[in-house]
Every structure is written in structure tokens, then in C-alpha cells.
């Protein structure tokens, strides 16, 4: 039997139903590119019939040149109406995507209670909708809502719904465990029956309400399904959708199926972390395969056995999914990564010399404190340059003060900074519409007289991440700032229990990095404006 499994990602559609998850069109475009690089086969982008943000996404996604097929989501036509005139179906066709997924009822109880129509009309809704999409030249999949509950209540009706979709021309029949309540044994039995009864390929779409979404997806594949729908990190309504970050390695590394090209599987961890950053959802340290603790060893016995042979306590090589082993007694950042980064920058490094050891220790210490250099290349470059080259002190900070006040409904934010620029003391104050904006304004005001090129830089992204949620407002925060020059972009990081201090640190790194990109940094002799922002990294 065919061992190739089609991966259908719905992070951008069903994933956004998760509590606290809200993605802008920009966010969605970034995630779509990352998913495409991972090698998933379908990317469900949204529901063009329900909101304008998704229409914008599909419009802009056309220029991305994705290899994966973009799919739009919608429902079967409204009851007692005509498919050709259904606004939601028309929006799908207008979106210009090659494939669509339509959800439709398969549980008789739902037809009566939620849809409030006859069983026959629901079957007609399914048939008409697929026939219309197929006449429009699209690939079309049927998400059979509550299929398993429906089958348990009335197997013949649930199968009839599938048959109608098949007759209408549906290319996939996707069996949905919409409320996540079905057990793996039931999934296996019911999918087996469907595979016997129908010739159209079968997909599986599960939810995690019983903490069984991954197992249920595997059970369906074992019974003959050949498409899995899920989301990165298992985002989704209530307890989430099936987690592709677990399903893919289980299928591919354990069960002998093929989902992604082997080398792409190594992008799994970075993809999971990227999506968690964009969605601003904290990733549980213990998340299977991709979590920071997934291959972390704490117990003394485990660690000593791991040192003898990592197979003693690791079920797979962490590198296969792009993760790495960690020994919790000492934080082990990837020393080889750091060295290769320094080599890439043209620095003279050698794993055995004292300077290299010292900077690796320093970076490990910073990571332990909560710094993350994966998303802050420019801060890492500054650290490495400071360690390996003659440090150029462009300016030093003597102090800053920040004042926020609200009275009579008026908010005031002002910042005062005192710098030393090449021996000259500069003392400036500025207002802003928030404390970080005020600090940014004051810092620029102090430096622009020496470096007019700073006018060309702007902060293009600002992210705040609370690191240890349990300590609430006394917790550490990590600030990531992305800055954009004339034609490049760089990112810097700051960490502190004080959000103002963390932002200040990232701001300083950003400006310092920009200034260091100039060929010669001489006070009173600023380099040509156009040089600034031309360095790619």
C-alpha cells in the first residue's frame, strides 16, 4: 500500500480559533512561507467568505510563489438556496486558490438541531456545492463535520453524506472528529469501514479534547487514511487541533510513512518556534519533539547514562527534527553554531583558544538569563565583535530617566538621556506616545547631530515576551526590536525584569549595530549617508 501521507496544515484557519491567537494578514504571510519551506502539501489560509483579512491574505499570497497548494475554507451552500448564488462559495472561487475545503454536516442530530433542515436537503447541499466547485475547475475536499459522532449515531446517514460528496466530485473525504471525543479504537474501526465503502481518498481531522488527537490521527492512517489535517503546535479551538509537529515525526521516523523530504524534517523545530513567536503563544518547554526540554536530561542517572550512549534515554536523535540534547545542570548552547556564526562574520576564531571559550561561556550565561540570539542576529554580532576585535566605543550612556504620568485623563511620557559621544557630553529630552517611543526619540535626538544617517533607520517591529509567567509583573521580559535601514533589516534583544530597561538595551544595540556598519566611524566625520543600511547579514 502507498506509504505517502499528504500533510494539510490549517494553522492559519482552524489554528486561529485557539484562545488568545490572533494573526494579522502580515503574520499569516510570514507563516505561510515558513510552512512552505517545511514542505507541507496544503496550506489552508482562511475563510474568504467570513472576513476581509482572509481575502487580503489570499490576494497578497499570490506573489509568494509557494510550492504548497493554498486552500480556502467555507461551508456547503446555505439550505434551500442555489450553489451558484452562494456568497460564501463565490468568495472562495474569487480568491483564486487552486483548492477549497468545504465543511458539511454528517451527523443527523446536527442536521436537525444546528442546521434545522431535512436530512435530504443536507445531502443536496453537499452534492450541489461540490459539483459547483468542480465545474469551476477547483480541487475540492469535504470536511465531514462530526463524522465519528454521526457514524456512531446513524452510520448509513454518515456514509450517505460521504457518498454525496464523492458523487459531486470531491477529491478527498476528510473525516472530522470535530469535538475531539472519539477514542483511537473507534477511529480505527470507523475509518476502516469507510475505506471499504468508498473509493475517494480519505483524510483525518482530529481535535485534542481527550489528549488523543495525535493518536487518533495515527489510528486513521493505520486504517487507510492518506491525508492528515492539523496545525503547528496543535493550535486550535478549545484543546486544540491535532499537532503536526508530533504527527509528522511519528509517521515518518517511527511508522515508516513518508510525509516530508528527510532534510526538511530538520526544519520542524525552528518552524514550531517561529510560529509560536509570531502567534505570541508561549511554547510549553515539554512539547514533544520540538520543545526546549524534549531532549533535556535532569536526573543524575539519566545524565550519566546519556554520556555513555545517548540511545539509553533518547528515543530518536534530536537532530532529526532540528532539536538538540540539553543537559540541565549546565545550559549547553550550540557552541558549534556560535563558532560558525563568527567564522561567517570573518572573525578569527578557534574552538580551543581562550577568547573563544570565554565568549561561548558568556553567551551561554546570557541564554540562561533569557536572551535568545536566534531572533537577534545583530545583538549576537555585536557580542562576537566586542570579543574578537578592537571594540569601537561610538558612544557611552551615562544615564537615562523615564517619566510617565497620567492626571486629568492626560498621559505624558518623557525621557531624558545623558550620553558621552567622543568625549562630548550630550543631554537631551524628548516626549513620545509611550515610554519606549520617548526613549527612542531622545536617543536619536542625541545622536542625529553626529550621525545624520540615523534619520534613515526606523524601528519596524517591537515584541515583548514575558519569560517566566508565574512571577507575573515581577517576571523577566525579553524585548526583540527589528530595525530597518535603507534596504536591510536587523534584530536586537534586551532582557530585564524591567520592560523599560529591556527595551532600552535592545534600542542601544540596534543603533550601535547600525553605526558599526559604516566603514569608518569617526566623530565629526560621519560617513556617507547611503552607506548606512547597505550591509546584508
Cell 482572509 locates to 54
Minimum distance from residue 241 beta carbon to a copy of itself (Å): 10
CA-based nearest residue to 94, from 65, 127, 72, 68 = 72
Q: Helix (H, G, I), strand (E, B), or coil: what is residue 303?
A: helix
User: Which residue lies nearer to a copy of itself by CB, 139 or 143?
Assistant: 143
Q: Helix (H, G, I), strand (E, B), or coil: what is residue 212?
A: coil
In this structure, what C-alpha cell is assigned to residue 76?
456547503
Cell 470535530 locates to 178
d(CA 64, CA 320): 28
Q: Which helix (H) or strand (E) holds 271?
A: helix 268-279
User: Which residue lies nearer to a copy of itself by CB, 20 or 137?
Assistant: 20
d(CA 465, CA 454): 27
Minimum distance from residue 385 beta carbon to a copy of itself (Å): 22
User: Which residue lies nearer to a copy of itself by CB, 100 or 493?
Assistant: 493
d(CA 508, CA 208): 44
Minimum distance from residue 259 beta carbon to a copy of itself (Å): 15
Minimum distance from residue 59 beta carbon to a copy of itself (Å): 18
User: Which residue lies nearer to a copy of itself by CB, 180 or 485?
Assistant: 180
User: Which residue lies nearer to a copy of itself by CB, 282 or 537?
Assistant: 282
Minimum distance from residue 431 beta carbon to a copy of itself (Å): 11
In this structure, what C-alpha cell is assigned to residue 152?
456512531
Minimum distance from residue 482 beta carbon to a copy of itself (Å): 8
Minimum distance from residue 466 beta carbon to a copy of itself (Å): 5
Backbone dihedral region for residue 370 (phi beyond 0: left; psi -120 to 50: alpha; all else: beta): left
In this structure, what C-alpha cell is assigned to residue 91?
468568495
Q: Are 126 and 104 in contact (CB under 8 A)?
A: yes
Q: How far is CA 65 from CA 7, 39, 100, 217, 371, in A?
A: 19, 13, 18, 30, 34
Minimum distance from residue 23 beta carbon to a copy of itself (Å): 12
457: CB partners within 8 A, 6+ apart: 483, 484, 485, 510, 511, 514, 532, 533
Minimum distance from residue 392 beta carbon to a copy of itself (Å): 22
CA-based nearest residue to 330, from 361, 354, 285 = 361
User: Which residue lies nearer to a copy of itself by CB, 134 or 152?
Assistant: 152
Burial grade of 473 (CB within 10 A; 0-12, 13-18, 19 or more):
exposed
User: Which residue lies nearer to a copy of itself by CB, 167 or 186?
Assistant: 186
User: Which residue lies nearer to a copy of itself by CB, 24 or 80?
Assistant: 24
Minimum distance from residue 182 beta carbon to a copy of itself (Å): 8
Burial grade of 79 (CB within 10 A; 0-12, 13-18, 19 or more):
middle
Quote the Cα angle for 234-235-237, to 5°: 120
Minimum distance from residue 199 beta carbon to a copy of itself (Å): 26
d(CA 185, CA 215): 10
User: Which residue lies nearer to a copy of itself by CB, 122 or 287?
Assistant: 287
CA-based nearest residue to 35, from 68, 84, 4 = 68
User: Which residue lies nearer to a copy of itself by CB, 227 or 323?
Assistant: 323
User: Which residue lies nearer to a copy of itself by CB, 59 or 437?
Assistant: 437
Amino acid at each position: 500500500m502507498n506509504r505517502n501521507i499528504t500533510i494539510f496544515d490549517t494553522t492559519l484557519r482552524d489554528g486561529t480559533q485557539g484562545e488568545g491567537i490572533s494573526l494579522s494578514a502580515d503574520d499569516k504571510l510570514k507563516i505561510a512561507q515558513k510552512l512552505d519551506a517545511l514542505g507541507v502539501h496544503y496550506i489552508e489560509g482562511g475563510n474568504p467568505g467570513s472576513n476581509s483579512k482572509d481575502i487580503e491574505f489570499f490576494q497578497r499570497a499570490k506573489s509568494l510563489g509557494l510550492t504548497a497548494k493554498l486552500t480556502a475554507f467555507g461551508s456547503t451552500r446555505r439550505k434551500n438556496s442555489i450553489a451558484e448564488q452562494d456568497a460564501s462559495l463565490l468568495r472562495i472561487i474569487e480568491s483564486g486558490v487552486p483548492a477549497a475545503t468545504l465543511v458539511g454536516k454528517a451527523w443527523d442530530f446536527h442536521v436537525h438541531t444546528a442546521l434545522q433542515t431535512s436530512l435530504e436537503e443536507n445531502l443536496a447541499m453537499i452534492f450541489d456545492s461540490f459539483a459547483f466547485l468542480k465545474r469551476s475547475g477547483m480541487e475540492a475536499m469535504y470536511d465531514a463535520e462530526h463524522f465519528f459522532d454521526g457514524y456512531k449515531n446513524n452510520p448509513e446517514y454518515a456514509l450517505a453524506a460521504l457518498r454525496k460528496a464523492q458523487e459531486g466530485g470531491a477529491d478527498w473525504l476528510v473525516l472530522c472528529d470535530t469535538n475531539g471525543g472519539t477514542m483511537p479504537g473507534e477511529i480505527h474501526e470507523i475509518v476502516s469501514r469507510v475505506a471499504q465503502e468508498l473509493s475517494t481518498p480519505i483524510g483525518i481531522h482530529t481535535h485534542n479534547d481527550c489528549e488523543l488527537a495525535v493518536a487518533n490521527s495515527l489510528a486513521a492512517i493505520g486504517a487507510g487514511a492518506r491525508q492528515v489535517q492539523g496545525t503547528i503546535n496543535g493550535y486550535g479551538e478549545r484543546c486544540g487541533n491535532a499537532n503536526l509537529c508530533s504527527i509528522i515525526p511519528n509517521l515518518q521516523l517511527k511508522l515508516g510513512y513518508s510525509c516530508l523530504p528527510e532534510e526538511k524534517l530538520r526544519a520542524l523545530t525552528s518552524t514550531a518556534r517561529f510560529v509560536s513567536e509570531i502567534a505570541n503563544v508561549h511554547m510549553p518547554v515539554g512539547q514533544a519533539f520540538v520543545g526546549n526540554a524534549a531532549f533535556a536530561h535532569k536526573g543524575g542517572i539519566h545524565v550519566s547514562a546519556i554520556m555513555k550512549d545517548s540511545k539509553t534515554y533518547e528515543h530518536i536523535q534530536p537532530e532529526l527534527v532540528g532539536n538538540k540534547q540539553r543537559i540541565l545542570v549546565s545550559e549547553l548552547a550550540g557552541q558549534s553554531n556560535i563558532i560558525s556564526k563568527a567564522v561567517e562574520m570573518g572573525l578569527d576564531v578557534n574552538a580551543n583558544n581562550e577568547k573563544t571559550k570565554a565568549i561561548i561561556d558568556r553567551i551561554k550565561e546570557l541564554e540562561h538569563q533569557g536572551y535568545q540570539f536566534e531572533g537577534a542576529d545583530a545583538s549576537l554580532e555585536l557580542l562576537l565583535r566586542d570579543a574578537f576585535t578592537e571594540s569601537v566605543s561610538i558612544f557611552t550612556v551615562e544615564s537615562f530617566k523615564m517619566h510617565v504620568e497620567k492626571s486629568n485623563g492626560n498621559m505624558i511620557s518623557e525621557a531624558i538621556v545623558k550620553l558621552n559621544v567622543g568625549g562630548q557630553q550630550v543631554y537631551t529630552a524628548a516626549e513620545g506616545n509611550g515610554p519606549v517611543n520617548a526613549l527612542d526619540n531622545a536617543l536619536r535626538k542625541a545622536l542625529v547631530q553626529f550621525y545624520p544617517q540615523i534619520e534613515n533607520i526606523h524601528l519596524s517591529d517591537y515584541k515583548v515576551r514575558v519569560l517566566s509567567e508565574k512571577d507575573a509583573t515581577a517576571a523577566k521580559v525579553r524585548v526583540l526590536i527589528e530595525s530597518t535601514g535603507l534596504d536591510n533589516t536587523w534584530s536586537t534583544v534586551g532582557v530585564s525584569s524591567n520592560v523599560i530597561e529591556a527595551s532600552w538595551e535592545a534600542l542601544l544595540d540596534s543603533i550601535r549595530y547600525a553605526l558599526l556598519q559604516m566603514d569608518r566611524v569617526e566623530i565629526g566625520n560621519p560617513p556617507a549617508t547611503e552607506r548606512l543600511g547597505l550591509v546584508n547579514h
